[in-house]
Amino acid sequence: MWRTTPLYRSEAEGSLDLDAPPEIPGGVDRRELQTLEHGAGPLFHRRYRARIRSAALSKEALIDRLSGDPDRAAPSELASFQKVRGEKGTMRVGDEFVVRMPGPWDGPVRVVDVTPSSFRLATLTGHLEAGQIEFRAAGGAGNLVFTIESWARSGDRLCEVLYDRLRMAKEVQLHMWTSFIERVVEIAGGRRAGGVEIRTRRITVDE
C-alpha cells in the first residue's frame, strides 16, 4: 500500500519492570478479560504518536468525539468498531465493542478506563491479542499530541506465528493504527507536524 505519511520506527528490547501494562482499575468487570497471562509469546509495548498543529478541538473535545464513536477514525478497509454493549454516542467503563477486521480477526474489547483526555480498552476472550490499548490526547492552544499505546501478547500460538514470526499481522496492525491517527488529525481540524512515531519494545515473558 502506498503511503505519504513519514513513519519513524524504532524497536528495542524492553523489560517487565518498565513496560508492564497499567493495572485494571478496581470495579471493572473482569469476566472474559484476556490478560497477558492468557496470551502467548513475547509482550509488545507499542506506542504510535503524532503531533497536531492548529487543531480546532481541545484535547478533551477530541477524545469526547472519538470515544463517542471510535469508528469515525477507523480505516474502513481494515477495521470498524461496532458497539455491542452500552449506550451509543457515549463511552463508559464496562461498554464493549467488537473490532471487525477482514478474515477471522474480529476483536472483542471492553472499556476499562475513561478520563476527559483518554480511554483504555482491554481484550476479551477470542481476541487475537491479550492485553490493553489506550488512546489519549495531550497539549493545548491548538497544538496537540495524540498517542495510541498498547501492551499486548498474541492471543494464542497461531497468532504469535502470524504476528511475531511471519510479521503479517504486525504490518497490517501498523497500517491500521497509522491510518487511524491520520483520520484523528482530520477530526481535530489541524495538520500533522512531521510524521508518525512508532516505538516498539519487545519483552520476553517466561511461560
Q: What is the DSSP string of 65-133?
A: HHHH-GGGGS-TTT-EEEEEES-TT---TT-EEEEE-TTT--EEEEEEEEETTEEEEEEBTT-SEEEEE
3-class DSSP state of 22? coil
Count of structural domains within the chain: 1
State the average pLDDT for the chain.
90
In a domain, 12, yes or no: no
Residue 174's domain is classified under what CATH number?
3.30.530.20
In a domain, 99, yes or no: yes
pLDDT digits (tens, 9 = 90+) for 131-170: 999 999 999 989 999 999 999 998 665 565 555 544 556 6
Q: pTM for the full model?
A: 0.92
For residues 143 and 136, the answer to whether their CB atoms sit within 8 Å is no
In a domain, 32, yes or no: no
pLDDT of 104 > 80? The answer is no
| 75 vs 121, more confident | 121
Q: Which grid coordinates belong to 167?
A: 510479521
pLDDT digits (tens, 9 = 90+) for 26-70: 999 999 999 999 988 899 999 999 999 999 999 999 999 999 999
pLDDT digits (tens, 9 = 90+) for 91-101: 999 999 999 87
User: Domain of 152?
Assistant: 41-203
Integer Cα distance of 34 and 152 in angstroms? 10
